[in-house]
């Protein structure tokens, strides 16, 4: 049984390369390390190419953006499980060994989707240990509820996942009409809906919040992806509403229910309700300019915040009316995709 550690790397620092060196020392019979480096830095390429390790598989490629790199790196993996590692994060060697041992024991249990452990989460001023509760429940709604109750960064993204499941989830992500920063939340949602997560009693992953440490930095990252998608900043006002709507459509789809049995309406409602709470209470009202899209998104927000019940199809129609003002073709693609699930 093998775990593929996937490092989509762009940073050029020695600390980023040190993380790769550490992983390259793992046992090649149990681990492979896929490094897909799009930094386009010749000095980094030369240094990484000099690593003599049967565990390491290095690919240096042109930089085609942050979204493309992890998806293409996943396609290179051959392990039974995959685990993404940020090149500004660390793995515990003992933790990953225990994770491998647990996955090897439980590999034949088809109800299990992921394996993880305790996370050490760091900011520039403090650090602390974090562990998800109740992700091993047989009830998908309880797993999703526990995920939200944890009130933590989405570190579940950095867990060991069955490669077949990760491939399905990222292939689905690749089909989405727009690529937005909250789509890592949808990946976690899919993992939770489609299987249990088992945990080892060991710190496995060291997560540095980095550019997501403050609300200002997070907002800038979110908005940069809307701009990259050809949309105005004002769409960011709907950020968590869109995440709730897209997740709701996915969870209520035949596509997912064919892979795992769960209460589609219950799970869809649970996901949307939690994201709707974020939409209502997370402040994002800065930096917008007066425009038709700004006025339209304000009206949409006012309308749906006052509703006691939400019809996802009606909400999709309203969202597409806003998108159409900036990107008519994209709005049409968006409507067709989500209305066809």
* pLDDT single digits (tens) 206-226: 999 988 888 899 999 999 999
| pLDDT attached to residue 1 | 97
- CA gap 107, 114 in Å, rounded: 10
| pLDDT attached to residue 233 | 93
| pLDDT attached to residue 80 | 98
Residues 6+ apart with CB under 8 A from 266: 141
User: What tokens does 266 get?
Assistant: 């219950």
Q: Which helix (H) or strand (E) holds 197?
A: strand 196-208
| pLDDT attached to residue 7 | 98
Q: Please name the residue ranges forming H helices in 50-92.
A: 68-76
| pLDDT attached to residue 309 | 87
* Residue written as token pair 């500004």: 88
| pLDDT attached to residue 280 | 95
Residues of the chain with pLDDT below 50 are none
CATH superfamily of 3-212: Spore Coat Polysaccharide Biosynthesis Protein SpsA; Chain A (3.90.550.10)
The number of residues making up the chain comes to: 341
Q: What is the CA radius of gyration of the chain?
A: 20
CA 311 to chain centroid: 26
| pLDDT attached to residue 210 | 87
Domain locations along the chain: 3-212, 215-339
Angle at 286 between CA 284 and CA 291, to 5 degrees: 105
In percent, how much of the chain has pLDDT > 90?
A: 94
């Amino acid at each position: 049984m093998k775990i593929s550690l996937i490092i989509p790397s762009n940073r050029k620092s020695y600390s980023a390369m040190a993380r790769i060196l550490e992983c390259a020392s793992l046992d090649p019979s149990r681990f492979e390390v896929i490094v897909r480096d799009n930094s386009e830095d010749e000095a980094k390429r030369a240094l990484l190419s000099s690593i003599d390790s049967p565990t390491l598989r290095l690919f240096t490629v042109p930089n085609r953006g942050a979204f493309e790199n992890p998806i293409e790196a996943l396609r290179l993996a051959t392990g039974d499980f995959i685990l993404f590692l940020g090149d500004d994060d660390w793995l515990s060697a003992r933790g990953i060994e225990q994770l491998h041992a647990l996955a090897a024991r439980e590999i034949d249990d088809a109800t299990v989707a992921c394996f993880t452990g305790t996370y050490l989460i760091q900011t520039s001023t403090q650090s602390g240990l974090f562990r998800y509760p109740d992700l091993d429940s047989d009830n998908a709604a309880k797993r999703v509820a526990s995920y939200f109750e944890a009130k933590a960064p989405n570190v579940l993204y950095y867990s060991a996942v069955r490669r077949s499941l990760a491939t399905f989830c990222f292939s689905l992500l690749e089909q989405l009409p727009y690529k937005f920063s909250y789509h890592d939340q949808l990946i976690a949602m899919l993992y939770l809906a489609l299987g249990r997560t088992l945990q080892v009693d060991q710190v496995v992953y060291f997560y540095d919040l980095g550019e997501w440490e403050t609300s200002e930095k997070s907002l800038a990252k979110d908005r940069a992806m809307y701009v990259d998608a050809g949309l105005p900043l004002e769409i960011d006002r709907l950020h968590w509403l869109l995440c709730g709507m897209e997740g709701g459509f996915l969870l209520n789809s035949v596509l997912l229910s064919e892979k795992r049995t769960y209460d589609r309406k219950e799970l869809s409602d649970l996901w949307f309700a939690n994201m709707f709470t974020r939409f209502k209470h997370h402040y994002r009202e800065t930096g917008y300019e007066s425009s038709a899209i700004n006025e339209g998104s304000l009206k949409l927000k006012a309308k749906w915040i006052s509703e006691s019940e939400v019809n996802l199809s009606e909400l999709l129609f309203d969202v597409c009316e806003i998108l159409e003002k900036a990107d008519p073709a994209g709005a049409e693609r968006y409507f067709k995709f989500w209305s066809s699930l």
